[in-house]
Amino acid sequence: MTLWEKMKASPVLGGKEGVIGLAVLAAVIFVILPLSVDIFRLNLIGKYLTYAFVAVGLVMLWGHGGILSLGQGIFFGLGGYAMAMFLKLEASDPESTKIQSTPGIPDFMDWNQLTALPWFWEPFKSLPFTLIAVLTIPALFAYIIGYAMFKRRVGGVYFSIITQAIALILSILIVGQQGYTGGVNGMTDLRTMLGWDIRSDSAKYILYFVNGLLLFGAIFLSKYIMSSKFGMLLLAMRDKEERVRFSGYDVSNFKIFIFCLAAMMSAVGGAMFTLQVGFMSPSFVGIVPSIEMVIFCAVGGRASLIGAVYGTLLVNYGKTVFSETYPELWLFLMGGLFISVVMFFPNGLAGIWDKLATKYGWFKDKAEVAKKPEVSTSGVEAQVVLTETTETMLAADSTNTATKAPRKRASKKDTGLESSKMRGAEA
Amino acid sequence: MSNTDFVLAVEDLTVSFDGFKAVDSLTMYIDKNELRVLVGPNGAGKTTVLDLICGKTKSTAGSIKFNNTELTKLSEHEIVRSGVGRKFQNPSIYENLTVYQNLEVSYPKGRGVFGSLTFKRTQEVEDRVRKVAADIMLTEFLDMESALLSHGQKQWLEIGMLLMQEPELLMLDEPVAGMSAKERDQTADLLNRICQNRSVIVIEHDMEFVKKIAHKVTVLHQGKILAEGPMEKVQADEKVIEVYLGH
Amino acid sequence: MFGYSMADIGNIVVMQGFSGLSMFTVLLLMALGLAIIFGQMGVINMAHGEFMTIGAYTTVLISKVAASYGFTDYYFVFAIAIAFLLAFAVGYFVEFIMIRHLYKRPLDTLLATWGLSLVMQQIFRSSFGAKEVSAELPEWMLGSFKPTPDIDIPINGVFVMVLAALVTFGVYMFMYKSRWGLRVRATVQNRTMAGAVGINTAKVDRVTFALGCGIAGIAGAAFTTIASTGPTTGTLYIVDSFMVVVFGGAASIVGTIASAFGIAQAQSILQFFMTSSMGKVSTLLVIVTILMMKPEGLFASKLRK
């Protein structure tokens, strides 16, 4: 078996379509974009890609698990702030802060009449501790929230409202506790990590690639989970929770796990955000960013991992372009996007792509994979490509475009939401 | 007689919803390999009894012993794991998964979070799925998305999902609702086959169907037992005729 | 305690309590509208705050017109009516083009109405500017009376309380004593059956939603008596209002009143002793903690499922 055949056969990757989708995404992130834009723009794209971690987490949590968290900004923020605390401490060595009344503490603490470093800041002097904290603090926080709510069977809109309230609480807290958090400005002026200047062009390149690799790590991990029995149960739970419970599963544990995992992914995104952008502020924690991250995921297709990445890139690109040139129009556009995606394209870009792919039979083996599940689920991932990359995909698959793949489920009424569930079942 | 001889011993079971007693000091024993049918007019508390046994509703008073284990203190998934399976009134299957996947998900291995992440489809699982599929007459539909099944086939699939768990006690809430006459006969055969090595409780309204399957019948009325015994005896009971069979 | 004497604390509690009452009335009116929409229909309306803003801007505009014609003293009553009607009409329209397609997808309704709130905020900003504007209050509303030398009770506060009491009473009568209310409750409990007995469920939905929005409009009119209005005014209240509704047990009017009172008072009094942000954080934290332990809210009745 060649490598290509092995990859195609892997249920984790999701058949030929899944492999091509991943390959195209990798080409876009690691080759096309770095070669075609300058470092300023690339850094901007890197920033967008940190949001994609949140979107990938939401695909699992919301698209597959049916749990809509409106508080993913909490975890993005916790991860980002943990990293920012480490960088801020490094930037606040006694030498560079000697004009302060208390040298050696971060500038905003000095402005707020603090004379010593608060105890909970101390451990963030260590990089290993910080890296562990980036992952464990959000996970722990998610575990507490998830345990309290899922064990009591709080779900649906109640979960959404309560997570939203928690996001509000955290952002008010950060703004209010200026002396400890930097307040509304956040933690700015972050310069080096262990002496390495993160503001230099070379560092920005390196961080961009590290970010991309981590994102792929998150996608692969998600794909593995989706192709396991866990993934199948997640879908089963979303649609018939009672049946799963009365098949002997403790539903809450599965929900807690997926919520913690989504939280950890968001936190990694937050930490990478801090590194690439050089600051962290409460404006990435509260209600508005949290719900915006949901729309990134919805635009790409709530059940599609790769779609979520493209959705994030596209919406943020639009936001940058419009808020630079027509700031007035942007809110209209964003609002319109929310409304129209939900009402007319509940499966987002991935849904549109998938319809086209089915219609023209671009992926013949897709139907076969769906019919004969190899391990636990038929792992076919829908994915989306930006217009400029469509040709690449077509070229890669020119051999099989002629025959239309027979699909058993074609007879099924293909209304918006139902087909989103179908997508879920395959991914 | 000691209640340890029974698979299921329900004693003085009561549940009240804001003062309304849906089940009122109910006592009932189910034998090994017995197929018991619960009948009674709407609102008699039949479904509530099943809810209480499987833990969906918590009882106000009384005890439910399954193989001498008290069920009232266990959570739903623990009750299932101890060997009780429950089919709901409306077919409750995972419509987006294939028939195969529906059965596979119900296989009683990999029930924890990490167990499910590392669960592998072994030959054993495969064999079990095929055997159950043959039992419920769905072999040729294994790869079909289950949403496309007919109503009756969905009912069978849910029964099959329970059979995957090999429960000692199987509870079926109106298993033939919405089925054609032919499907009803097939279901009666199916039930007679599967109660060979387990106890079954069925809720059913269709008296013709009840006659075909019941070993014993319990008639519920306003949360209490009105009559209990073999079908012929119950059918001749005047109280039963008055509240239920008469019209 | 915090360096105040007991008499001081008594006065602070009374006065902060009273300023809490103004907030209570706005929250209550907001929450009543939400309780109808969310509690009865199960729809999450994230744009509810913007319906309040519609009412607030309406009142401000009418006050400007009234001021230029010199009948400032009486305009407020008209303003309330027009705020209600306008918000009702917009709500009616929104239900027709958007909400009715999403009844089976509550989470999606949440996202779509969030989008709507963004659009509405931008419309406000484009038409009225980003700056906050205030209504010209009638003379008689501006004063305050002093039951003791240390206590000031503003008259506008008393006015909005009376208003809130009337609206609450009206909602109660409508929901539980009128034929319309009966239809609404029937539709909520069993849509198919309600349709089968001849209730026009689509119309019931539309009127119910619009009514909730209309009450938010009244909340906006009340709001202008205690603060100035900006394009994002509504967003300040949306989370609090949802907390009120959920905390009170979604479908209970008594619960809504009690929880609006509790939340507003707690915030108002805590804000005096701590910073304003910490007062809000502590209140929300307590609510969220209680909701995690008792998710059905404080006043929900035990249901047989």
* Closest residue in C to A327 (Cα–Cα): C122
Confidence of residue A425 (pLDDT cuts 50, 70, 90): very low
Per residue in C26-69, pLDDT tens?
889 999 998 888 877 888 899 999 999 999 999 999 988 888 88
Confidence of residue A133 (pLDDT cuts 50, 70, 90): very high
* Structural domain total, chain A: 1
* pLDDT score at C150: 67
Q: How far apart are CA C123 and CA C119, in angstroms?
A: 6
* pLDDT score at C192: 81
* pLDDT score at C275: 78
Residue A29: pLDDT above 90?
yes
- Which chains border B (3 or more CB–CB pairs < 8 Å)? A, C
* pLDDT score at A373: 34
Confidence of residue A370 (pLDDT cuts 50, 70, 90): very low
Q: Is the pTM of this model over 0.90?
A: no
Higher pLDDT, B245 or B94: B94
Residue A419: pLDDT above 60?
no
What is the rounded average pLDDT for all residues in chain B? 87
Task: Give which of A268, A318, A358, A322 is closest to A72, Cα–Cα.
Answer: A268
* pLDDT score at A365: 47
Mean pLDDT of B187-191: 90
Q: Residue A76 in contact with residue A289, Cβ under 8 Å?
A: yes
* pLDDT score at A103: 87
Q: Look at B17 and C301 and tell me if their CB atoms are within 8 Å.
A: no
Token pair for A216: 């792929």
* pLDDT score at C214: 95
* pLDDT score at C298: 67
Q: How far is B56 from chain A (nearest CA, A)?
A: 9
Higher pLDDT, B163 or B17: B163
| Interface-testing mutation among A12, A247, A375, with chain B (most B C-beta atoms within 10 A) | A247
* Closest residue in B to A151 (Cα–Cα): B75
* pLDDT score at C174: 85
Q: Look at A248 and B111 and tell me if their CB atoms are within 8 Å.
A: yes
* pLDDT score at A363: 62
Higher pLDDT, C54 or A425: C54
Q: How far is B206 from chain A (nearest CA, A)?
A: 25
Residue B2: pLDDT above 60?
no
Residue B135: pLDDT above 50?
yes
* pLDDT score at A279: 93
Residue A4: pLDDT above 80?
no
Mean pLDDT of A127-148: 95
- Select from A228, A253, A411 the Cβ nearest to the Cβ of B119: A228
Between the ranges A384-393, B43-52, C146-155, where is the mean pLDDT highest? B43-52
Q: Is A153 on the interface with B (CB under 8 A)?
A: no
Higher pLDDT, A408 or A94: A94
Q: How far apart are CA A34 and CA A211, in angstroms?
A: 13
Mean pLDDT of C119-138: 87
Confidence of residue C75 (pLDDT cuts 50, 70, 90): confident
Task: Give which of C197, C194, C219 is closest to C205, Cα–Cα.
Answer: C194
Q: Is C300 on the interface with B (CB under 8 A)?
A: no
- Per DSSP bridges, beta strands C153-154 and B224-229 are unpaired
Q: Look at B75 and A250 and tell me if their CB atoms are within 8 Å.
A: yes
Q: How far is C302 from chain B (nearest CA, A)?
A: 7
* pLDDT score at B131: 92
Instruction: Kindly state the helix (H) or strand (E) to which residue C60 belongs, with its residue range.
Output: helix C48-69
| Interface-testing mutation among A169, A171, A181, with chain C (most C C-beta atoms within 10 A) | A169
Per residue in A76-112, pLDDT tens?
999 999 999 999 999 988 888 888 888 888 999 999 8
* pLDDT score at C299: 63
* pLDDT score at C172: 86
Mean pLDDT of C245-260: 82
Instruction: Kindly state the helix (H) or strand (E) to which residue B169 belongs, with its residue range.
Output: strand B169-173
| Interface-testing mutation among B51, B77, B93, with chain A (most A C-beta atoms within 10 A) | B77
Distance of CA C182 to the CA centre of its chain: 23
Residue A382: pLDDT above 50?
no
* pLDDT score at C300: 57
* pLDDT score at A26: 93
Residues 6+ apart with CB under 8 A from B122: none
What are the residue boundaries of the structural domains of chain C, listed by start? 9-129+146-234
Q: Which residue has the tokens 């770095």?
A: A34
Residue C303: pLDDT above 80?
no
Residue C218: pLDDT above 90?
yes
Confidence of residue C147 (pLDDT cuts 50, 70, 90): low
Residue A372: pLDDT above 60?
no
* pLDDT score at C251: 67
Residue A368: pLDDT above 60?
no
Confidence of residue A402 (pLDDT cuts 50, 70, 90): very low
Among A376-390, B104-118, C204-218, the least confident range? A376-390
What range does the domain containing A290 cover?
A: 45-361
Contacts of C304 in chain B (CB under 8 A): 17, 20, 22
Confidence of residue A219 (pLDDT cuts 50, 70, 90): very high
Mean pLDDT of A53-71: 95
- Which chains border A (3 or more CB–CB pairs < 8 Å)? B, C
Higher pLDDT, C250 or C189: C189
Higher pLDDT, A398 or A118: A118
* pLDDT score at C118: 92
Q: Is C302 on the interface with B (CB under 8 A)?
A: yes
Contacts of B18 in chain C (CB under 8 A): 301-302
Q: Residue C248 in contact with residue C35, Cβ under 8 Å?
A: yes
* pLDDT score at A77: 96
Q: How far apart are CA A291 and CA A296, in angstroms?
A: 9
* pLDDT score at B80: 92
* pLDDT score at C256: 86
Q: What is the ipTM of this complex?
A: 0.88
In the β-sheet with B216-221, what is the strand arrangement from edge to edge? B84-87, B169-173, B199-203, B35-39, B216-221, B224-229
| Interface-testing mutation among C99, C104, C108, C296, with chain A (most A C-beta atoms within 10 A) | C108
* pLDDT score at C293: 77
In a domain, A309, yes or no: yes
Give the rounded percent of residues in chain A with a pLDDT score beyond 70.
84
* pLDDT score at C199: 84
* pLDDT score at A78: 96
Token pair for C18: 């009273």
* pLDDT score at B231: 86
Confidence of residue A384 (pLDDT cuts 50, 70, 90): very low
HEC readout, chain A: CCHHHHHHHCCCCCHHHHHHHHHHHHHHHHHHHHHHCCHHHHHHHHHHHHHHHHHHHHHHHHHHCCCCCCCHHHHHHHHHHHHHHHHHHHHCCCCCCCCCCCCCCCHHHHHCCCCCCCHHHHHHHCHHHHHHHHHHHHHHHHHHHHHHHHCCCCCHHHHHHHHHHHHHHHHHHHHHCHHHHCHHHCECCCCEECCEECCCHHHHHHHHHHHHHHHHHHHHHHHHHHHCHHHHHHHHHHHCHHHHHCCCCCHHHHHHHHHHHHHHHHHHHHHHHHHHHCCECHHHCCHHHHHHHHHHHHHHCCCCHHHHHHHHHHHHHHHHHHHHHCHHHHHHHHHHHHHHHHHHCCCHHHHHHHHHHHHHCCCHHHHHHHHCCCCCCCCCCCCCCCHHHHHHHHHHCHHHCCCCCCCHHHHCCCCHHHHHHHHHHHC
Q: How far is C284 from chain A (nearest CA, A)?
A: 7
Higher pLDDT, C192 or A43: A43
What is the rounded average pLDDT for all residues in chain A? 83
Confidence of residue C85 (pLDDT cuts 50, 70, 90): very high
Residue A378: pLDDT above 60?
no
* pLDDT score at A392: 37
Among A33-47, B170-184, C65-79, the least confident range? C65-79
